[in-house]
Structure 1
Amino acid sequence: MSNNKTLLLVIIFCISSCSYIPNPTIASDSSSDFIRCLTKKSVPHWLIHSRRSSSYTPILKSSIRNPKFLNITASTTPLCIVTAKRTSHIQAAVVCGRRHRVRIRTRSGGHDYEGLSYRAEGRRERFAVVDLSGMRSVRVDVAGRTAWVQSGATLGELYHAIWSAAPGLGFAAGVCPTVGVGGHFSGGGFGLLQRKYGLAVDHVVNATVVDARGRLLDRGAMGEDLFWAIRGGGGGSFGVVVSWHIRLVPVPPTVTVFDAVRAPEHGAVELLAKWQEIAPRMPEDIMVRVIIDIEPRRVTFEAMYLGTCDELLPLMRNQFPDLAMVRSDCNEMKWIESIPYIHLGRNATVADILNRSSISRVNTKSGSDYVRKPIPINIWKKIFTNLQQVSNFGQFQMFIDPYGAKISSIDESATPFPHREGVLYNIQYITYWNGDANGTVALKWSRDLYKFMEPYVSKNPREAYANYRDLDIGRNKVVNGISSYHHGKVWGEKYFRHNFERLAAVKAKVDPDDFFRNEQSIPPLFE
């Protein structure tokens, strides 16, 4: 894709031989017919991995990040995996899928918290996976301060490419370098630059999508409704986003990272209670987030400041004096160095963010909340008391990210991501356990904590972050072959608030037969 030429508006794949089939249920029932169709559409056989292939299981497991999903007999697995190398391979999968009753799920980085990019919970769901890990090019336009990045790239690969081309530029997205760009952008994408620059999707200026008819569309061809929907409306609902055109952001020569660790018995809870009112109102150049660990018991105030330690120290003394930050807490570095430092540790190098492998050794369950009113200190003390029970079966963390500044100044209808003005912070809950993948005790504890938090977090709806996908808050029900809007609202308004109805209307327009679907995909809303 040239930076100096306009993209082709529409590429219609095999228009003479692949007619649009409105109802995929009228076609053949054989997965072998689907595979034969792929080969006829020039998808090389070595890119098609059926259940009979020796390559199937290793590829399926290659980017499963959560060990509880490694038992591939525990849930419905794909009929085959297409390790796409070209856009035409994705188009072939869609066209052949419609023809032979095989839906498509798309996997980029594999971090989907419920594994819905590569597994299904219903055993009647016939689907194939298009794995995009082989489509991960990044092309940086230094003069234009933009880049085209394919959905199979990881955040680490994107950051590294930007830094290699233009050390003075960066991008506002997450801290985990192995997260796939496709899924991250599809849900919104926040990180340590969010208070300065907003979300990843706030900087998407174009994209290419293979739609439910197998067409490749850019922004002009897909229309503003679909372009709006893919920028935060969740992955797996509207098509396969092949690539994203993003606007880069300036970063200073030096940033300062600090970690101030405090124990509960040494005032950590009191500091946390003060932090929740201070952090969202701090200047946009600093973000101070909180990480709560149970083993060992500690509260970490982790921050990145877009400037030097000499500039940061007086700011912290003025804004958050009770934290008592000192110069030895400072770690000055280049912005690109902060990526491995924050996520991988102080001994990690920039080269380490190119490593795509990141499989947890323990089972995990995640959830999320948004907080719009400060939680009273006596409730925080009860939370810490409850957290002590976790040591009986595993571990637990809370990641708490402050909002305010840029992320909160954008209208909540500008993108599907609605958690903007009025949000103090987001909470991510992660429960870890070994052994039994079902995690009966761990999951009960996790759900009990979520229930305990209900009075103190956002209400009507109780909000959640789409990229921290959680089937506990609701799942789709298929009625007459189509995902029910009524059932989808249960979880959909938690992720998207008032934007959910518009997303469902876009779905009805671009994918009325619900070809792209999973247990939490956007259902169509018909007039």
Structure 2
Amino acid sequence: MQAQPIKVDKNGARYEALRRGFNQRWIAAPDYVVVATSKEDVATTLGTFLGNSSNATRRITVRSGGHCYEDFVCSSDVGVIIDVSQMNRVYFDASMDAYCVEAGATNWQATTQLYRASGRALPGGSCYSVGSGGHISGGGYGLLSRQFGLTVDYLYAVEVVTVADGKTPKVTVARKDSEDPALRDLWWAHTGGGGGNFGVITRYWFRGLPEPPAQVLLRSVAWKWEELQARPDLFKSLVRRYGQFFEHEQAGTLPHNMRAYTFRDMFTLLKLTHVSAGKVGLIVQLDGTRTDSPARLKAFLDYITEGFTTGSHTYVGETVLDRQMGEHSAQRESFIPTLLPWLTATQTLNESGPNRCGKYKSAYHTKAFTDEQIDAIHRHLTTGTYSNPDALLQVDSYGGAVNDTASDATAVPQRSSVLKLQYQAYWSWDKDADSNAVYDYRDAEKDPTIAERHLNWIRTFYEDVYHTTGGVPTVAAPTSPASTSPASTSAHTDGCYVNYPDTDLDDPVHNTSGQSAHRLYYKENYTRLQRTKQRWDPHNVFRHAQSIRLPGKNPGGSGAAASKTGE
């Protein structure tokens, strides 16, 4: 007799922890949470939920790492949450001739188990506790991606519990080389289509995984806002030249003194914090097995900080990155260029930050920032009407091997960008609104103004940067972009990242571009995703606020969503 799935109901001590994820803005009240340990647990739970007519208007959702930025997993209409975090094995599957990563494995589990056993790695994110289920299905990326591409560029097969008839769960394995075109579509949909759309993901298989460099060179550096405020032209120059470096690197037009170098192995994170944080930061990782890496690192830093020092006078000096910036903690030890084994360095940079409330927005840029965009960035990071050291714009280097893949080879269509942006604002409950002598989520429910000032800041910031394209980073039309979408091309933008979901994209108050979230996330790939949805989930069992829509239909019926998260 098959064991029944583990249920934690409202009377269980674990319920409070299991009904929420990393983002403390979103707290669900499901009837119970199922801690699944097998695909059979998932199928049984789905069948029970769908067989109960009282669940017709409620959703059943799925959590792996719990890092969904919006309320796709935890919301008021959730009846049951399936937690797959115990399904976390990582191993070589001889029957598939591929490496298997179960959906509940975190980035850190996948990293350590793959590397220690085989010397290979997924080019995934640096947030250790993010779950593979959402990270991979959305097209996850990380510090190895410029050198090796995205996680989904290596995806060979996926195991999904589907419910094509709306009531009978079926364990379905879809391969890149499946004979059935519908199965190939299902595989393809999981190479960037995002979680919560087609079924419950239980396992992934990968072929051809790369071997990361044995050692990497790390450098972290910061610059004081006090000095940058005295010379706003140098702050703007830093942002401009940072973008220009990767634009020229992609085009092969770097200055002649750097053309002897290649930089595809270099990944950088520029932390443009709000002025109240005191410092702006930068983290750089390069292949440490190359003898020219120290010289390449110096050349890059000299390029982006041109003018910081003139003759014997230093206007803006380097200092230690000695404080939390976004999801990364202080990086004091790597102020001096530091050579570390790749796995050790990955552990050093593996951060999730503290549990708190957050709001996020994203953008792809195909070229460097425009002057208007730079002015807007400076304006909102130095505003005196808002103060929050945990608010920032993180600008990741992009391109390289990511852009070697065609835009329709996977569901990730953004294959020509050089920068990937994440706008971030974090906060905690700093007001005892319900007068019970403690801070918790009930204070935010009692007083919406706790979150309001943070939401207003990040929304206004984002909409100002992209004001020429309707408040969002629009994509150009597929034909004659110069004539049909001049605003998109002049802004150098290419949409948004589905693993950094943002429901404001579907709000006409915040998005006046005429391009929906689906257009911004998927571009021309959306039609194939809809076709896959029609074949594998025609009853819209798996849905959330921004899930793939059935062709010609509005969302409805029982539903489920899976966690989405990114780098």
TM-score in terms of structure 1 length: 0.78
Counterpart in the other structure of 1:459: 474
Shift of 1:56: 2.5
Q: 1:180-204 CA distances to partner (integer Å, 9 max, x unpaired)?
A: 0101001100111111111111111
Q: 1:120-144 CA distances to partner (integer Å, 9 max, x unpaired)?
A: 35xxx453111101111111469x9
Shift of 1:516: 0.9
Q: Distance in 2 between matches of 1:173 and 1:311?
A: 25
User: Which of 65, 70, 73 in structure 2 is aligned with 1:114?
Assistant: 70
- Tell me, yes or no, if the aligned pair for 1:136 and 1:153 is still in contact at 8 Å: yes
Instruction: Give the fraction of aligned pairs with identical amino acids, expressed as a percent.
Output: 25
Q: 1:298-320 CA distances to partner (integer Å, 9 max, x unpaired)?
A: 33231111124742122245555
- Flag the structure with more relative contact order, 1 or 2, with Cα contacts below 8 A and sequence separation at least 6: 2
* Structure 2 residue 223 is the aligned partner of structure 1 residue 242: no
Counterpart in the other structure of 2:15: 56
- Tell me, yes or no, if the aligned pair for 2:394 and 2:422 is still in contact at 8 Å: yes
Give 1:133-282 correspondences, 5 Å limit: 133-140=85-92, 146-166=98-118, 168-212=119-163, 213-219=168-174, 220=178, 223-247=183-207, 248-264=209-225, 265-266=227-228, 267-280=234-247, 281=249
Give 1:119-518 correspondences, 5 Å limit: 119-121=74-76, 125=77, 127-140=79-92, 146-166=98-118, 168-212=119-163, 213-219=168-174, 220=178, 223-247=183-207, 248-264=209-225, 265-266=227-228, 267-280=234-247, 281=249, 283-294=263-274, 295-308=276-289, 310-318=291-299, 321-323=302-304, 329-344=336-351, 360-377=354-371, 379-389=373-383, 392-394=386-388, 395-421=390-416, 423-435=417-429, 437=444, 438=448, 439-455=451-467, 458-460=473-475, 463-474=495-506, 490-518=516-544
Structure 2 segments unaligned to the other structure (5+ residues): 229-233, 250-261, 306-317, 320-333, 430-442, 477-493, 509-513, 554-567
What amino acid is aligned across from residue 286 of structure 1 in structure 2?
Answer: M
Q: Distance in 2 between matches of 1:84 and 1:418?
A: 33
- Tell me, yes or no, if the aligned pair for 1:372 and 1:458 is still in contact at 8 Å: no
Structure 1 segments unaligned to the other structure (5+ residues): 1-40, 345-357, 477-487
Shift of 1:268: 4.0
- Tell me, yes or no, if the aligned pair for 1:508 and 1:524 is still in contact at 8 Å: yes
Q: Distance in 2 between matches of 1:91 and 1:475?
A: 35
Shift of 1:269: 3.2
- Tell me, yes or no, if the aligned pair for 1:279 and 1:288 is still in contact at 8 Å: no
- Tell me, yes or no, if the aligned pair for 1:261 and 1:301 is still in contact at 8 Å: yes
Shift of 1:260: 2.6
- Tell me, yes or no, if the aligned pair for 2:372 and 2:465 is still in contact at 8 Å: no
What amino acid is aligned across from residue 140 of structure 2 in structure 1?
Answer: G
Equivalent residue of 2:142, what SS?
A: coil
Q: For the aligned residues, what is the CA RMSD?
A: 3.0
Equivalent residue of 1:429, what SS?
A: strand
What amino acid is aligned across from residue 343 of structure 2 in structure 1?
Answer: I
Q: Distance in 1 between matches of 2:113 and 2:501?
A: 28
- Tell me, yes or no, if the aligned pair for 2:272 and 2:280 is still in contact at 8 Å: yes
What amino acid is aligned across from residue 519 of structure 1 in structure 2?
Answer: A
Give 1:20-99 correspondences, 5 Å limit: 42=2, 44=4, 47-61=6-20, 64-69=21-26, 72=27, 77-99=29-51
Change (3 A) 1:145 1:311: farther
- Tell me, yes or no, if the aligned pair for 2:357 and 2:428 is still in contact at 8 Å: yes
Shift of 1:249: 0.9
Counterpart in the other structure of 2:549: 523
What amino acid is aligned across from residue 65 of structure 1 in structure 2?
Answer: F
Change (3 A) 1:201 1:390: farther
Change (3 A) 1:260 1:128: same
Change (3 A) 1:391 1:307: farther
Change (3 A) 1:315 1:364: same
Change (3 A) 1:522 1:382: closer
Q: Distance in 1 between matches of 2:400 and 2:353?
A: 34
- Tell me, yes or no, if the aligned pair for 1:120 and 1:518 is still in contact at 8 Å: no
What amino acid is aligned across from residue 107 of structure 2 in structure 1?
Answer: L
What amino acid is aligned across from residue 302 of structure 2 in structure 1?
Answer: P
Change (3 A) 1:382 1:491: closer
After alignment, is 326-335 or 227-236 more displaced? 326-335
Shift of 1:232: 0.9
Q: 1:387-415 CA distances to partner (integer Å, 9 max, x unpaired)?
A: 12378453312111122221112111111
Q: Distance in 2 between matches of 1:318 and 1:55?
A: 52
Q: Distance in 1 between matches of 2:506 and 2:3?
A: 37
Shift of 1:379: 4.2
Shift of 1:343: 3.3
Q: Distance in 1 between matches of 2:98 and 2:144?
A: 17
What amino acid is aligned across from residue 219 of structure 2 in structure 1?
Answer: F
Q: 1:81-133 CA distances to partner (integer Å, 9 max, x unpaired)?
A: 1111111111112222222244421110000001312x235xxx453111101
TM-score in terms of structure 2 length: 0.73
- Tell me, yes or no, if the aligned pair for 1:111 and 1:179 is still in contact at 8 Å: yes
Q: Distance in 2 between matches of 1:195 and 1:377?
A: 26
Q: Distance in 2 between matches of 1:256 and 1:59?
A: 39
Change (3 A) 1:516 1:390: farther
Q: Distance in 2 between matches of 1:159 and 1:48?
A: 30
After alignment, is 382-391 or 228-237 more displaced? 382-391
